[in-house]
C-alpha cells in the first residue's frame, strides 16, 4: 500500500503542471492517497495489537465508507469526452477537470482563437558570421533555446505533422517544441506530443542531439526522441495536423533540409550528434557524427 500511496502522490505532483485546469483532480488524488493511508494505519493497528482478523473487514469498510461520502469529489476521472464521446487522451483523463478532448475544449473556449499566433522571439544577438560548421567553437557555443522532437512509431509507420505555427510552420516535421522552465527534455517530448497530436508516447528514448545556428543570430539545440509505443488517438490541434507515414517514404522534400541527412541514420539504429548552419530555411553547412546505439 505504500507503493500505491507513492504512485498517487506522484500523479498529484504531475497534475500541478496543469494546475489551471486540474484543481479538482488534484483534490481527488489527495483524498484517494489519504484513504489508502488510513487503511494502511488500520491494518497496522490490527497487527500491532494482535486484534481479531475479522476486524480487517471492518478496516476495509471504513475508508470505503468515507470514500462514498466524498464520491462526487473522487469519481471525476472520465475516459470519454462528454461533448463528443471520443476516447480521451491519457493527459485529458488524468489532468483536466473538464474531461474535454482538444477539439471540444477549443469549441467551448472561442476566446482562445483571439490570441495572437505564436511569434518567433525577438533576438538581441548580433547576426552570426559563421557560414560553416567549422567557424564555430561548439564547446563554447550556447543556444538561445532548447527544444525536442519526438518520432512515434507504429509498426512500419511513423507519426509526422504538418506544422501550423512557430518555427518551421508549413513544413512537415515530428511533433515537438521548446522545453519549458524546470522541465526535462523527456518530459517536454511527452508533453509536446500530447498537446500537438493527442498521442501519448510511451518510454521515449533519446537518439540524438541537433545544434542549429542561424545567421540572423538565433540558435537552438534540439533533443531527438523515438517512441515505439503509445496511447491515445491521433487528432488535429491548433498547432499541428498529424498523420502516419511509411517509414520508407518519409517526405524529406517537405521537411527541414537537415532531416534527410541525419534521420535515415537514426532509423538505422544510430545515435546522432548533428551541427548545422542555416540561413532562414536554407542549410549552409552540416556536420553529423554517428555512434551505434546501445540496446
Is 268 inside a domain boundary?
A: yes
Span 180-211, pLDDT tens digits: 988 999 999 999 999 999 999 999 999 999 99
Are residues 170 and 273 located together in one domain of the fold? yes
Are residues 51 and 142 located together in one domain of the fold? no
In this prediction, residue 212 carries a pLDDT of 96
In this prediction, residue 222 carries a pLDDT of 96
Most confident of 15-24, 63-72, 98-107: 63-72
Distance CA 259, CA 240 (A): 18
| Least confident window among 89-93, 106-110, 182-186 | 106-110
In this prediction, residue 118 carries a pLDDT of 47
Domain final residue, candidates 52, 80, 112: 112
Are residues 233 and 92 located together in one domain of the fold? no
Task: Report the share of the chain in percent with pLDDT over 90.
Answer: 53
Report the half-sphere exposure of 162 (CA within 13 A, side-chain side): 7
* CATH number for the domain harbouring residue 222: 3.90.79.10
Averaged pLDDT of the chain: 88
Q: Which residues form the domain of 18?
A: 2-112
Is 275 inside a domain boundary?
A: yes
Number of domains in the chain: 2
Are residues 160 and 286 located together in one domain of the fold? yes
In this prediction, residue 115 carries a pLDDT of 46
Task: Report the share of the chain in percent with pLDDT over 70.
Answer: 92
Domain final residue, candidates 57, 81, 112: 112
Is 28 inside a domain boundary?
A: yes
Is 121 inside a domain boundary?
A: no
| C-alpha Rg value of the chain to the nearest Å | 24
- Burial class of residue 90, CB neighbours in 10 A (0-12, 13-18, 19+): middle
Is 225 inside a domain boundary?
A: yes
Are residues 138 and 270 located together in one domain of the fold? yes
In this prediction, residue 271 carries a pLDDT of 95
Is 277 inside a domain boundary?
A: yes
Terminal Cα distance for the chain, rounded = 34
Is 193 inside a domain boundary?
A: yes
Are residues 13 and 88 located together in one domain of the fold? yes
In this prediction, residue 11 carries a pLDDT of 75
In this prediction, residue 103 carries a pLDDT of 78
Domain final residue, candidates 48, 81, 112: 112
Tell me how long the chain is: 295
In this prediction, residue 122 carries a pLDDT of 52
| Least confident window among 117-126, 138-147, 165-174, 178-187 | 117-126
Is 120 inside a domain boundary?
A: no
Q: Which residue has the higher pLDDT, 229 or 293?
A: 229
In this prediction, residue 82 carries a pLDDT of 86
Are residues 151 and 101 located together in one domain of the fold? no
Q: Could you tell me what percentage of the chain is helix, strand and coil, using 3-state DSSP and rounding each to the nearest 5?
A: 40, 25, 35
Span 273-286, pLDDT tens digits: 999 999 999 999 99
Pick the closest to residue 173 from 162, 183, 185, 184 (CA basis).
162
Are residues 101 and 247 located together in one domain of the fold? no
pLDDT > 60? residue 114: no
Are residues 108 and 167 located together in one domain of the fold? no
What average pLDDT does the segment 6-27 reach? Answer: 75
Are residues 78 and 154 located together in one domain of the fold? no
Are residues 236 and 107 located together in one domain of the fold? no
Are residues 139 and 248 located together in one domain of the fold? yes
223 near 145, Cβ under 8 Å?
Answer: no
In this prediction, residue 4 carries a pLDDT of 82
Amino acid at each position: 500500500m505504500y507503493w500505491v500511496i507513492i504512485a498517487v502522490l506522484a500523479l498529484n505532483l504531475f497534475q500541478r503542471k496543469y494546475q489551471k485546469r486540474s484543481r479538482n483532480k488534484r483534490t481527488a488524488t489527495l483524498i484517494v492517497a489519504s484513504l489508502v493511508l488510513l487503511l494502511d494505519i488500520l491494518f497496522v493497528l490490527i497487527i500491532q495489537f494482535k486484534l481479531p482478523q475479522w476486524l480487517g473487514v471492518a478496516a476495509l469498510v471504513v475508508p470505503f465508507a468515507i470514500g462514498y461520502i466524498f464520491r462526487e469529489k473522487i469519481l471525476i476521472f472520465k475516459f470519454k469526452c462528454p461533448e463528443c464521446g471520443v476516447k480521451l487522451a491519457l493527459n485529458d483523463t488524468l489532468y483536466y477537470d473538464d474531461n474535454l478532448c482538444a477539439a471540444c475544449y477549443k469549441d467551448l473556449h472561442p476566446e482562445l482563437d483571439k490570441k495572437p499566433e505564436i511569434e518567433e522571439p525577438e533576438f538581441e544577438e548580433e547576426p552570426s558570421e559563421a557560414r560553416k560548421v567549422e567557424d564555430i567553437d561548439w564547446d563554447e557555443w550556447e543556444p538561445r533555446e532548447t527544444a525536442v522532437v519526438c518520432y512515434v512509431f507504429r509498426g512500419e509507420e511513423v507519426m509526422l505533422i504538418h506544422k501550423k505555427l512557430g518555427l518551421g510552420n508549413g513544413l512537415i516535421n515530428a511533433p515537438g517544441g521548446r522545453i519549458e522552465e524546470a522541465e526535462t527534455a523527456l518530459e517536454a517530448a511527452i508533453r509536446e506530443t500530447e498537446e500537438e497530436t493527442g498521442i501519448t508516447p510511451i518510454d521515449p528514448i533519446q537518439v540524438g542531439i541537433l545544434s542549429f545556428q542561424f545567421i540572423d543570430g538565433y540558435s537552438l539545440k534540439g533533443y531527438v526522441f523515438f517512441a515505439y509505443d503509445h496511447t491515445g488517438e491521433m487528432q488535429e490541434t491548433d498547432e499541428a495536423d498529424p498523420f502516419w507515414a511509411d517509414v520508407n517514404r518519409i517526405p524529406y522534400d517537405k521537411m527541414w533540409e537537415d532531416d534527410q541527412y541525419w534521420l535515415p541514420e537514426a532509423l538505422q539504429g544510430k545515435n546522432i550528434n548533428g551541427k548545422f548552419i542555416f540561413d532562414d530555411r536554407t542549410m549552409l553547412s552540416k556536420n553529423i557524427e554517428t555512434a551505434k546505439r546501445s540496446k
